[in-house]
Structure 1
Amino acid sequence: MRRETPLAATPRRSRPIRTLVTFAVITAALFGSLVAGTFLSDATMTPKLALDLEGGTQLILKPVATGDTEITSETIAEAIRIIRQRVDSSGVAEAEITSQGGSNIVVALPGTPDKATLDLVRTSAQMRFRPVLAIGAPAVVEPAADATPITPKAAPDSPSDAAYYVTDAVLAEFNALDCADPANLAGGESGADDAAFVTCDADGTAKYILGPVEIQGNEISTANSGQRTSPSGAVTGEWVVNIEFTSDGRPVFRDVTTRLQALTSPQNQFAMVLDGLVISAPSLAPGVIISDGKAEISGTFTRVTAASLANQLNFGALPLTFQVQSEEQISATLGSEQLQKGLLAGLIGLLLVVVYSLFQYRALGLVTVASLVISAVLVYGVITLLSWLQGYRLSLPGVAALIVAIGIIADSFIVYFERVRDELRDGRSLVGAVDKGWDRARRTILASDAVNFLAAIVLYFLAVGGVRGFAFTLGLTTIIDLVVVFLFTHPVMLLLARTKFFGEGHKFSGLDPRRLGATGPRYAGRGKVSAPSSAASPGAAPSDDQPHDTLLDAPVPVGARVAGGFGDDSPRQTIAERRAAQRAAELGDAEDGATDPADASPSAGTTSADGPPTGDPAAPTDPSTERNES
């Protein structure tokens, strides 16, 4: 007796339409931001190119030793590091900063950098801390005709001793200084470390007489900006700059601030002088002794001005001063021809992936093609957005990373599709195979992309220049791969599984169970065999109007290998359950044999599980009637 039961899948509830709508909203927001930026800001709809593809501005800086500083390979390397930090903090990517001949420094900036970025490179920007001796209005002051000459003091009591450092010559220079003249705001001259210094503030709103240098800028450990936090932990909304000194600078800073506490304004202030201009001159809060080398600078800061001062404090301590030897525009080192060749290589790789996908997966390969196109659109949009917001520039190593990403993205789709096909071979319906295959493929895809992303992070932090561009682009495309697979590819597969073309396994769908080998019988549990309806007549092809699977009332031999059917999502049985089912079937056969009149005939021998056959002792034993107990 045979009974036929169609087997159906019971996948978990999913909402592919909602996921696709969410993905569409994210994509629309990405490109909507770019379009808005083109009208409201300086955004463009094309990504910026790096120095090797577009060209840019090149500056050659010649170091000039000051004081006791010597020009060595170590000081040149330190200067290159600080200049790179400055350029990176301004948002310019893919800059090339190298040493030329062991002395000069060559700085190449891609595109057309703005004045602020060029000033970061041109400026010698040695940071010094000097005590304030006098402050005046920025305009020129005519000295009084009957002014009494200043009698210089024999020896200074401290760097704040105005009676010693403010001489007639210094006062005359102070009165004649016009801080409204842009020429006096160019900076560059930092003055002698052990003498008074007359200068303007960077905005040209005041002029100063400063005492000798007390702390060098290289004694700054860190500086950062943020909103002030009260002792209770509440954020007050006031922007401040926090500064911390090194272990060597900590005791010096403590002694200076302790001395300034006892003085009156303006001599209770200390000036931060960057490249000869005062960028800040805070006063000491009454009664505050700074013994741990950590100070907070407050005032009329905004978020932008606080961040700017923190940057200047962090990256201002160049060990040398520099003269700009030359500044010129340079052409691209590789040019548009190399970019075209790189893009052509990417298109060839993409075409080969498309051909393979269509050959291997037939109509299912169109999902791969659509996913690759979507990934390319997202990568283009994100790179363009980063070019606008973060100064990212696409270099030739970045183009190489995009080509590598084609294989990474295609690999995720192949893992997913093969998992689905494995489930089909194992007898599941397409809806169940998509659901179960996704559970298995998701872990593999996450593990693979995690390894790629980790490699990109390590490479980014250990490399410089173009190699960092390769690492950044590789990490970016890895993240986009996950977004596309989770928010586009998987929901599309769920929708396709519900269609007649894919759901019924059309021969051109790439999911045909017969082509995948899912045509033989398979164990269905409880001692039953699930087989395609064509199994009743070997060699006959199943028709489309017959159920794919048929349950046969037949035991399954222990250890037998049964091919998967198509359409069954029932749970699998363990080996112990299979053995129990076989024993139950054998006992059933034994009971049927005991009540069969034909088997009860004296001429027919019977077999006992414990001994030799009974009946005619002379009759030979038929091996086919023996039964081994499992």
Structure 2
Amino acid sequence: MAAPKKGRRSSGSQGRPGRALVAILVAIVALTAGMFISGHTKPRLGIDLAGGTSFTLEAKNQPGKPNAINSDNMNTAVNIIERRVNGLGVTEAEVQTQGDKHIIVNIPKGMNAKQARQQVGTTAQLYFRPVVTYTDGKKTEPTPTPSATESGKGKNDKGKGDEKGKASGTPTATSTPSGSSSPSASGSSQGRAVSEGLKADKTPTATQSPSATQSPKATKTPKSDSSKSDDLNKQLADLVCTTPADRAKAREKAAAAKPSDSIVACDRDGSRKFILGPSEVEGTDVKDAASVYDSQGGGGWIVQLNFTGSGGKKWAKVTGELATQQPPRNQFAIVLDGEVYSDPRVDESIVGGRAQISGPDFDQKNTADLANVLSYGALPLSFDIADETTVSAALGGEQLQAGLVAGAIGLALVVLYLVVYYRGLALVAIASLGVSAVLTYTIMVLLGPGIGFALNLPAVCGAIVAIGITADSFIVYFERIRDEIREGRSLRPAVARGWPRARRTILVSDFVSFLAAAVLYIVTVGKVQGFAFTLGLTTLLDIVVVFLFTKPLMTILARRKFFASGHPWSGLDPRRLGAKPPLRRGRRTTPPAPADPKEA
């Protein structure tokens, strides 16, 4: 009696296939419900299927760096641009090199392509430059010397420098000076720079004596030569920033200047124009920046900056010098691609390599933009947008339709072959393919908002290729069962004995496919990664379907008379398979000896 119980227990481990079927049914229901709850019932499409914007960045040599265009700098630039775009939430963007000096950026339709272009297009180095003076963005009359700005009594300041915020070693220095009440105050949110809980430098009292600070500092910002000062004032007077074309010209000229040169530049909206001194802190000195909500400092969004070790020393030195100046010379401009992005004010030296920028009009969006620029603004190369095109989804749609037609024809041929060759077993294969298709579709839909997965043409190709991989797993299992039947076993033990052999083969085959997909995903870029990702995903789902659906379903069908009796249309007819006579469990008898030894 013990032997039968043991035998039943060994078959009972696979004799409860309903649990596996319930598990995969629950998984399908949960994924489908999650798809509808999230509000996404269709996969996100890539740029080749949905359309979008594509532009080409061309690297250019910088002054003093004739050999800067190399593979290392290009790869670094690709990584920074990709992080810069992803920082805007454009998770479907494709950034990759093309040739020796071009980078292709593809922004799918529906993403914030305009905002991404503004930040990706600003690909020159990021600089922190001291402000000498500024005035209205329109054409103005030149001033004879910049001395008017040194005394803080420039006619064109109109109090704007005061409202841009202030830097201090203590959080209490947050009050807005009286100059901010000027009626010319703009709504721009440039912010103030404030050290995060750091003590003030010992020299801020020097600001109380303008005469002690103006004369020595005036020799350093930007040039002591009067002819150069007059030239800068003339350039400032002639500069016009009111139209995008004017700002583009000014930006190109300012971006071409060396960090050690003084420049004239426009701000982003063209309302003001600046004379800026030489840069002593660059974007490479910024370790990282983040947009956070300051709940302890009175509320509001701020930008926190962390500098590198050497950058923190430069920052402390520069802010210490700026703090001794009168407005607007106590401001520094954050200049990206020759354009003033922000110009906060400094009142005290900021030490420790940490600072924060805030402002009365700061919100989550503009602080996130500023933090993104500060984090990813320093590229090892400068780029021009050589080409910008709008990609239509018409061509991709036609290719997708052709691919789906080809996939449908291939699937129909596979089903026809299964019906002709496996007959009743074809129903198991078709049902398994259907389960695999439902799982693949729902997971792809959920991966869109989850990790930013986009379905492109190569990804569709990977899904079609996976049909063959999935069908191959079923065929391996079916053939193992049929081999056992050919050995003379009935269907139930054939299903049980054929599974371990088929399982090993399926696992090895799927492991090889998944390994190939993983290697392809790692070593390739762009759309080929979509193919590799889909191939790897469907390979994993093949294992899930075979283990949790195909095998349990075969175990249940083996108990049904139609399959267990070997019906001719079941695909498991012993006579058609050429099965041996059934194995007998009785004791074998020794055949009688031949009557004639000679004949034997």
1:58 aligns with 2:54: yes
Determine the C-alpha separation between the residues in 1 that align with 2:516 and 2:347: 48
State the partner residue of 2:13.
13
1:136 aligns with 2:169: no
Q: Deviations over 1:269-324 (max 9, x none)?
A: 9987655456798999999867xxxx798999999999877754553222444555
**Amino acid across the alignment from 2:45:** K
State the partner residue of 2:138.
none
What TM-score do you get using the length of structure 1 for normalisation?
A: 0.61
**Amino acid across the alignment from 2:314:** V
Give the conservation status (yes or no) of the 8 Å contact 2:290–2:371: yes
Determine the C-alpha separation between the residues in 2 that align with 1:382 and 1:152: 66
Determine the C-alpha separation between the residues in 2 that align with 1:273 and 1:623: 111
1:153 aligns with 2:179: no
**Amino acid across the alignment from 1:369:** I
Moved more, 319-328 or 483-492: 319-328
**Amino acid across the alignment from 1:110:** P
State the partner residue of 1:213.
279
**Aligned-pair Cα RMSD in Å:** 5.7
What TM-score do you get using the length of structure 2 for normalisation?
A: 0.63
Q: How does 1:249-288 map to 2 (within 5 A)?
A: 250=309, 252-253=310-311, 255-256=313-314, 259=317, 274-275=336-337, 276=339
For residue 111 of structure 1, the aligned residue among 109, 112, 120 is 109
Determine the C-alpha separation between the residues in 2 that align with 1:65 and 1:509: 72
1:398 aligns with 2:459: yes
Determine the C-alpha separation between the residues in 2 that align with 1:274 and 1:445: 56
Q: How does 1:130-529 map to 2 (within 5 A)?
A: 136-138=162-164, 141=182, 152-154=214-216, 193-194=259-260, 212-218=278-284, 223=288, 245=308, 250=309, 252-253=310-311, 255-256=313-314, 259=317, 274-275=336-337, 276=339, 312=373, 315-322=376-383, 324=385, 327-332=388-393, 334-426=395-487, 428-520=489-581, 522=583
Give the conservation status (yes or no) of the 8 Å contact 2:488–2:581: no
State the partner residue of 2:154.
none
Determine the C-alpha separation between the residues in 1 that align with 2:530 and 2:477: 30
Distance 1:389 1:203, change over 3 A: farther
Give the conservation status (yes or no) of the 8 Å contact 2:251–2:266: no
State the partner residue of 1:553.
587
Q: Which SS does the other structure have where 1:153 is aligned? A: helix
**Amino acid across the alignment from 1:498:** R
Distance 1:288 1:520, change over 3 A: farther
Give the conservation status (yes or no) of the 8 Å contact 1:54–1:111: yes
Determine the C-alpha separation between the residues in 1 that align with 2:435 and 2:124: 47
Distance 1:224 1:123, change over 3 A: closer
Deviation at 1:29, TM superposition (A): 2.6
Distance 1:481 1:521, change over 3 A: closer
Give 1 or 2 for the bigger CA radius of gyration: 1
Distance 1:225 1:361, change over 3 A: farther
Give the conservation status (yes or no) of the 8 Å contact 2:20–2:552: yes
Determine the C-alpha separation between the residues in 2 that align with 1:333 and 1:203: 36
- Alignment identity in percent? 41
Determine the C-alpha separation between the residues in 1 that align with 2:341 and 2:318: 18
State the partner residue of 1:33.
34
Distance 1:366 1:71, change over 3 A: same
Q: Which SS does the other structure have where 2:55 is aligned? A: strand
Moved more, 398-407 or 192-201: 192-201
Q: Which SS does the other structure have where 1:552 is aligned? A: coil
Number of positions where the alignment pairs a residue of Structure 1 with one of Structure 2? 499
Q: Which SS does the other structure have where 2:70 is aligned? A: helix
Give the conservation status (yes or no) of the 8 Å contact 2:119–2:373: no
State the partner residue of 1:121.
120
**Amino acid across the alignment from 1:213:** S
Deviation at 1:369, TM superposition (A): 0.9
Deviation at 1:392, TM superposition (A): 3.0
**Amino acid across the alignment from 2:508:** A
Give the conservation status (yes or no) of the 8 Å contact 1:185–1:200: yes
Determine the C-alpha separation between the residues in 2 that align with 1:26 and 1:392: 21
Give the conservation status (yes or no) of the 8 Å contact 1:371–1:484: yes
Q: Deviations over 1:219-273 (max 9, x none)?
A: 66x759799xxxxxxxxxxx9989685xxxx4x2353366579899799999876
Distance 1:185 1:443, change over 3 A: farther
**Amino acid across the alignment from 1:217:** G
Determine the C-alpha separation between the residues in 2 that align with 1:378 and 1:428: 35
Determine the C-alpha separation between the residues in 1 that align with 2:409 and 2:548: 27
Give the conservation status (yes or no) of the 8 Å contact 1:272–1:279: yes
Structure showing greater relative contact order (alpha-carbon pairs closer than 8 Å, 6 or more residues apart): 2
Determine the C-alpha separation between the residues in 2 that align with 1:20 and 1:266: 76
Moved more, 325-334 or 438-447: 325-334
**Amino acid across the alignment from 1:345:** A
Distance 1:169 1:46, change over 3 A: same
The structure where helix makes up a greater share of residues is 2
For residue 45 of structure 1, the aligned residue among 42, 47, 58 is 42
Determine the C-alpha separation between the residues in 1 that align with 2:449 and 2:559: 42
Q: Deviations over 1:573-620 (max 9, x none)?
A: xxxxxxxxxxxxxxxx9xxx9xxxxxxxxxxxxxxxxxxxxxxxxxx9
Q: Deviations over 1:518-565 (max 9, x none)?
A: 43254xxxxxxxx3xxxxxxxxxxxxxxxxxxx3332579xxxxxxxx
1:83 aligns with 2:84: no
Q: Deviations over 1:98-117 (max 9, x none)?
A: 659x7676544333432333
Distance 1:322 1:103, change over 3 A: same
State the partner residue of 1:232.
none
Determine the C-alpha separation between the residues in 2 that align with 1:298 and 1:428: 79
Give the conservation status (yes or no) of the 8 Å contact 1:135–1:209: no
Distance 1:286 1:156, change over 3 A: closer
State the partner residue of 2:70.
74
Determine the C-alpha separation between the residues in 2 that align with 1:73 and 1:287: 36
Give the conservation status (yes or no) of the 8 Å contact 2:319–2:350: yes
